[in-house]
């Protein structure tokens, strides 16, 4: 009997039940390029509330593959801030940098759909034109590995934005799954980790909306089921830039947890509990959490005091 792609991949990397996940498992997956700012706190809070409202687990994954941009001190600071806000995760923290074996295995499974690419970033924008797919890579240059995106329509139903659809080649283009510097790229890592952690629900910012069809294509090629997705309005500054370390976003202070959590709940369209007690506030917020109240918009301006 020949094994299907699915059997092969599951047997090597994931526990038996990995493709029949039923109970809710959510996650927060920050890149430790700096401490938590208001934008990342809103994502952490929404994913926490969605998991706890659904009586599920909420996991913390530190996405630290990019060792040039990430730091151990930021990762420790993020954990300290989450604890200060009483957003307490279940199980052990997963550090992406410690789980690269699964990425190599996934790459092997995807090998038939990949090709080497020597194009630089500029040549790949806005949508990669498939130059190295057609003409082969310039082997005198360093090369990345690209995945041939499906020709089919890639679609999913987002919990906030509803039914969304992209044309693989036209709207997205082939994308990198292993970088020129040898680092596994975000899309591959996130799929493998979500599978390994048996994530059933992904709650994250709308800046990652068009990452989702790329990740869905990887699931499809591996023959495995994707999680459900919920994208939130991204928190932006007064110039409409996403809050980030680069935009000098202020770190959120757990001493002001109640005030900040109230602001975050407001931005997530939720009912604001009356209580001033931190624990009660969270308990009420879990009880009242309603995805349908999340505003259907791509961005929300950060409150001035948190910029």
Closest CB to ligand GLU among 36 and 149? 36
Closest CB to ligand GLU among 30 and 168? 30
What's the closest the beta carbon of residue 108 comes to ligand GLU, in angstroms?
Answer: 23
Q: Do the Cβ atoms of 61 and 29 come closer than 8 Å?
A: yes
Contact residues toward ligand GLU (CB under 6 A) are: 29-31, 63, 190, 204, 208
Q: Do the Cβ atoms of 110 and 148 come closer than 8 Å?
A: no
What's the closest the beta carbon of residue 114 comes to ligand GLU, in angstroms?
Answer: 21
| φ and ψ at residue 228, rounded to 5 degrees | -90, 155
Q: Do the Cβ atoms of 14 and 6 come closer than 8 Å?
A: no
> Taking phi first (over 0 means left), then psi (-120 to 50 degrees means alpha), and beta for anything else, what does residue 86 get?
left
Closest CB to ligand GLU among 209 and 285? 209
What's the closest the beta carbon of residue 31 comes to ligand GLU, in angstroms?
Answer: 4
Q: Enter the tokens of residue 229.
A: 């997705």
Closest CA to 49 of 301, 296, 300, 294: 294
What whole-number distance in Å separates Cα of residue 279 and Cα of residue 84? 11
Closest CB to ligand GLU among 61 and 119? 61
What's the closest the beta carbon of residue 204 comes to ligand GLU, in angstroms?
Answer: 4
What's the closest the beta carbon of residue 190 comes to ligand GLU, in angstroms?
Answer: 5
Residue holding tokens 């999340």? 294
What's the closest the beta carbon of residue 134 comes to ligand GLU, in angstroms?
Answer: 31
According to DSSP H, which parts of the chain are helical? Answer: 5-13, 38-53, 72-84, 100-110, 131-135, 186-196, 212-222, 257-267, 278-288
Do the strands 57-62 and 25-28 form a parallel or antiparallel pair, or are they unpaired?
Answer: parallel
What's the closest the beta carbon of residue 112 comes to ligand GLU, in angstroms?
Answer: 25
**Does residue 277 have a cis peptide bond before it, meaning omega lies within 30 degrees of 0?**
no
DSSP letter, residue 177: E
Closest CB to ligand GLU among 208 and 265? 208
What's the closest the beta carbon of residue 139 comes to ligand GLU, in angstroms?
Answer: 32
What whole-number distance in Å separates Cα of residue 34 and Cα of residue 88? 19
Helix, strand counts (H, E) of the chain: 9, 12
């Amino acid at each position: 009997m020949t094994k299907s792609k699915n059997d092969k991949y599951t047997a090597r990397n994931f526990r038996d039940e990995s493709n029949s996940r039923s109970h809710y498992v959510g996650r927060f997956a920050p890149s430790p390029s700096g401490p938590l700012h208001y934008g990342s706190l809103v994502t952490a809070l929404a994913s926490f509330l969605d998991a706890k409202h659904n009586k599920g687990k909420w996991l913390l994954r530190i996405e630290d593959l990019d060792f040039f941009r990430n730091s151990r001190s930021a990762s420790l600071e993020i954990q300290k801030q989450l604890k200060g806000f009483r957003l307490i995760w279940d199980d052990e923290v997963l550090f992406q940098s410690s789980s690269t074996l699964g990425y190599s295995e996934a790459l092997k499974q995807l090998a038939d759909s990949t090709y080497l690419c020597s194009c630089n970033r500029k040549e790949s924008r806005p949508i990669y034109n498939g130059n190295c797919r057609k003409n082969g890579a310039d082997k005198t240059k360093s090369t990345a590995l690209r995945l041939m995106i499906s020709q089919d329509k890639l679609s999913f139903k987002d919990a906030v934005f509803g039914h969304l659809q992209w044309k693989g080649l036209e709207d997205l283009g082939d994308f990198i799954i292993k970088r020129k510097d040898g680092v596994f790229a975000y899309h591959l890592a996130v799929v493998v980790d979500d599978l390994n952690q048996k994530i059933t629900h992904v709650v994250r910012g709308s800046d990652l909306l068009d990452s989702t069809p790329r990740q869905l294509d990887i699931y499809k090629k591996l023959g495995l089921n994707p999680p459900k997705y919920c994208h939130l309005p991204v928190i932006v500054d007064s110039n409409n830039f996403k809050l980030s370390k680069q935009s000098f976003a202020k770190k959120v202070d757990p001493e002001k947890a109640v005030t900040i959590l109230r602001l975050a709940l407001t931005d997530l369209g939720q009912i604001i509990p009356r209580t001033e007690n931190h624990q009660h506030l969270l308990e009420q917020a879990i009880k009242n959490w309603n995805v349908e109240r999340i505003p259907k918009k791509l961005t929300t301006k950060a409150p001035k005091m948190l910029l």
